[in-house]
A and B are shown apart, each in its own frame.
Chain A
Amino acid sequence: MIDGLRRLGRSTLFWLNRLGRATLFLLRLLSALPTLAKRPSLAIRQLYSVGVLSLPIIAMSGLFVGMVLGLQGYANLVDFGATSSLGRVVALSLARELGPVLAALLYAARAGSALTAEIGLMKTTEQLSAMQMMAVDPFARVYAPRFVAGIIAMPLLAGIFTAVGILGGYFVAVQQLGVDSGAFWSQMQSTVKLFDDVINGVVIKSVVFGWVANWIAVFEGYDAIPTSEGISLATTRTVVNTSLVVLAVDFVLTALFFGV
């Protein structure tokens, strides 16, 4: 009993300590943003590796998720003769939830883990120390560009995921299952609201997810123990922690935006 309490206390202190360090890291990161504003090319270069290179997995996943939604939606709605609502179901599911959440989870697995591993390896191979000794601040040169690029990339990727998903749903529903094309698009047009669903659902959610995912990824790399095992653990923590935090934050945002 006492041992259990002791372990719980130790674990709580460990996580509070990490949270404190992560917060200090974030503050230091934000203080480096003015320097980055003078050299936006650093972030643009990172936008390619975290954004453009994530496009194939995002587009492919979006396509399949949209196709599954089309199939599942049709299978359920056909019993009620409501297949004309399929466009609405696919679009709202994707815009409000699946687009930003799945894009964030895929981003964590593909780009977040890569960011952690890259920064962790730079630390292990003394590249960050070398940079510091050359009077170059890694916060301005390494961490902040990756963090900002990730936040910019996230809503773009979520938007692409959603758009491709809708096309996937359209392909299955209209092309394969014979749902009326006009009904598919018009139902979607009449129910999907720009502010409520697209801005709140896709844009704001994914900016928040992007913030969280990139903060965790960059911090884990910065905080990694500079050994191969340390980097492996840090990469795992990035994917696991980002997934959990994204899902938890998604619940809070959904309650705020769409709660009754």
Chain B
Amino acid sequence: MPMPNTPFSRSDPPDPPPLITVRGLTFYRGDRAIFRDVDLDIQRGKVTAIMGPSGAGKTTLLRLIGGQIRPHAGRIEVDGACVHELGRRELYQLRKRMSMLFQSGALFTDLSVFDNVAFPLREHTRLSEALIRILVLMKLEAVGLRGARDLMPSELSGGMARRAALARSIALDPMMIMYDEPFSGQDPITMGVLIKLIRTLNDALGLTSIIVSHDVKETASIADYIYLLSEGSIVDHGSPQTLERSRSAWVEQFLHALPDGPMSFHYPAAAYAQDLSLAQEPSP
């Protein structure tokens, strides 16, 4: 069976098996194909970026990897387990080792920052409150929010909310974190803080990180590997340096933010003249 378009050629030195393998992924929303026969690998210990324009299915991919939705065809394996074939109990066991940072932060609005970070520890461990307090403060210190532990989510700025959510997502020391648009809507300073945090946490905690984003420059600055998604398939993939040198018109359009190119400026529509009812009308 021929190998799909995996990012690593046979001549590369042997690597540990990928943490996530996706093969033949097909997923529809109504009649619209979000993914058609997509293959990709996420390597352990690396920061992998999934990039593409809005509506390319980046967040859907994360939800498929997390088992929140099921593919119509294909396989998604996380650490050797086929996510969509797991029962609820096994899936929840796997999710204890996965984590996801949502675009909005998704902090529980009725809990303080401290209690948000303590939430997974209280749910899944039998640690004493004293020990939970120490762990929570350590996680908050890592994201620079130890002093904000008593604030409620409504009192946080967007960037602080994401950092608090990041502290919560590392509370159980997961093997991987999925970041859904971590930089969108952030000011440059907050963006810089988040970029540094994602890279530092990945390296310090030995995580595997998947960043879904369309912020090209910021994401490319910390990604080890990038997949570019568009219209249901992977357009290109490689290291940021490799993609920078790519001659593909699509890659060029996306990486350099060109307004028109293979990805049309116009949403598919009937001919303009026909839409304006000019085509068949005789001129006065």
Contacts and interface: CB of A to CB of B under 8 A. Distances in A.
Contacts of B168: 134
B43 interface: no
Given A126-B106, A127-B109, A136 B68 contact: no
Give the interface size bracket for B toward A. Answer: 20 to 34
A129 interface: yes
B102 A134 contact: no
Interface string B83-99: 00000100011011011
A37 interface: no
B68 A132 contact: yes
Given A129-B68, A129-B102, A130-B100, A135 B108 contact: no
Contacts of B102: 126, 129-130
Contact of B92 (A125, A126, A127, A137): A137
A8 B72 CA distance: 32
Interface residues of A, number: 12
Nearest to B98: A133
B266 interface: no
Given A136-B120, A136-B123, A130 B95 contact: no
B104 interface: yes
B66 interface: yes
Most buried by B among A129, A135, A136: A135
Given A125-B109, A127-B109, A133 B100 contact: yes
Nearest to A45: B110
Contacts of B103: 126
Interface of A: 125-127, 129-130, 132-137, 141
Interface of B: 63, 66, 68, 88, 92-93, 95-96, 98-100, 102-104, 106-109, 119-120, 123-124, 165, 168, 172
Given A134-B99, A135-B96, A135-B123, 13 more contacts: A125-B109, A126-B102, A126-B103, A133-B98, A133-B100, A134-B96, A134-B119, A134-B172, A135-B95, A136-B119, A136-B120, A136-B123, A137-B88
